[in-house]
Amino acid sequence: APPPFPPRLRRSPHATDAATTYAGLVAVAKRVSINGLVLLSAADFDYRLLILNWIMHAHALGHSNAVVLAMDAELAAEMQARRIPVFDDSANRDAWNATCLQRHIQAVRMERHLAAGALVSAGYDVLLADATAVLVKPVLPFLRSQPGNIDLFFQRDDWPIDAVRRMGCAVNAGFVYMRAARGEQVAALVRDMVSRGLIEFYLRWNNIVDQYGWSLTLSESAGMQLDAPEKGNNTAIGLVTRKGCQKDNSCLTAAFLPFDLFPRHAPSWASVGATALVHHLTFQCPEDQAPCGRPEDGVRVFRGNRQRLDRYDETDFDDQVAALRAAGAWMVDRDPAYKAPF
């Protein structure tokens, strides 16, 4: 009889070790960081144009400290040819093949957070963003104006519902700002988030395993029982009270970003674009009504859970590009051969 398959890991395949696993990424950050800050986004070769668009927006705002976390060697080579700072993280992504995350996108979403955690533990502030979370206006003046005791900032979302019941909203894992003042503790929380996400039943059909991890980790903390509705326009601040941190005053502080500056769900870009600093929109509707929304309104179509991965691959890229183009946020058309000027 053939040997049995080894059990799939329900833990991270590696830690947030800045000195070993992520030494190459830390070296890139050391080269390009500005005032201790790195902008980070992950992609693979299939999403090369989306990550190029994200980079072009970052560069237009003067962020030469934007780094691409390449999830395959092909994208790393593409970014290098364009003189864009990049770290080839494909070996670390491949390590996820031994875990219960069997979809490439699930592994990518978790791996990027471990990479960000490693940078924070190495002393760098990190703005981690989806490749589709493009900066359309300067975000740093707002972020740096916020109280210095806040360790993590999150965009608001409406799922998972258990987190919404406890906090008023959930975490969107595709736009997170991590400060390095207590970097080791932030990195430890990232690792806990990954562990929490890996035990969720819903990851069997849902790609947003990191969103489950963050939302449930925070909402299960007594200090994060907030009244922070998804469309609230304040900075909602809570205390991540976990593992006895109150005894030694080491609890981390987390905050939800204002909706008007960092919107996630809206019927159109025109309805939020006057105040939004970031374009990171998807249409909002119940699962049983999906697909819903129109790209021509500048909002990505919501297509529901991804049981049909062939449809996901065939439609998602076109949806994203069409929505960004309609919102005036697709820069690739202006210079398809773009190379970093820095």
Is the pLDDT reported for residue 6 higher than 80?
no
The lowest-confidence range among 130-134, 165-169, 195-199, 218-222 is 195-199
Which 3 state secondary structure label does DSSP give 138?
coil
- Contact predicate 59/53, CB 8 Å: no
Joined together, the tokens standing for residue 75 give: 């994208």
The tokens for 179 are 């400060």
Q: Is the pLDDT of residue 315 over 80?
A: no
Q: What is the pLDDT of residue 3?
A: 66
pLDDT at 314: 65
Whether the predicted pLDDT of 126 surpasses 80: yes
pLDDT > 90? residue 339? yes
Q: Residue 303: its pLDDT value, please?
A: 80
Q: What is the pLDDT of residues 264-276, one digit of tens each?
A: 999 999 999 999 9
Residue 300 near residue 319 (C-beta atoms within 8 A):
yes
Q: Is the pLDDT of residue 56 over 70?
A: yes
Indicate the pLDDT class of residue 242, thresholds 50, 70 and 90.
confident
Among 40, 83, 68, residue whose Cα is nearest residue 341: 83
CA dihedral 159, 163, 164, 170 (to 10 degrees): -50
Residue 305 burial class via C-beta count within 10 angstroms: exposed 0-12, middle 13-18, buried 19 and up = middle
- The strand pairing partners of 56, in sequence order, are none
Tell me the average pLDDT across 314-329.
Answer: 90
Q: Which residues are registered as beta bridge partners of 238?
A: 254
Give mean pLDDT, residues 96-110. Answer: 91
CA angle (173, 315, 202) in 5-degree steps: 40
Give the pLDDT band of residue 100 (cuts 50, 70, 90).
confident
Quote the pLDDT of residue 310. 53
User: Is pLDDT of 233 > 60?
Assistant: yes
Contact criterion met (CB below 8 Å) for 160 and 262: no
- Is the pLDDT score of 288 beyond 60? yes
d(CA 298, CA 68): 25
Query: What are the DSSP calls for 236-261, one per residue?
Result: EEEEE--TTGGGTT--EEEEEPPTTT
Q: Does 4 score more than 80 pLDDT?
A: no
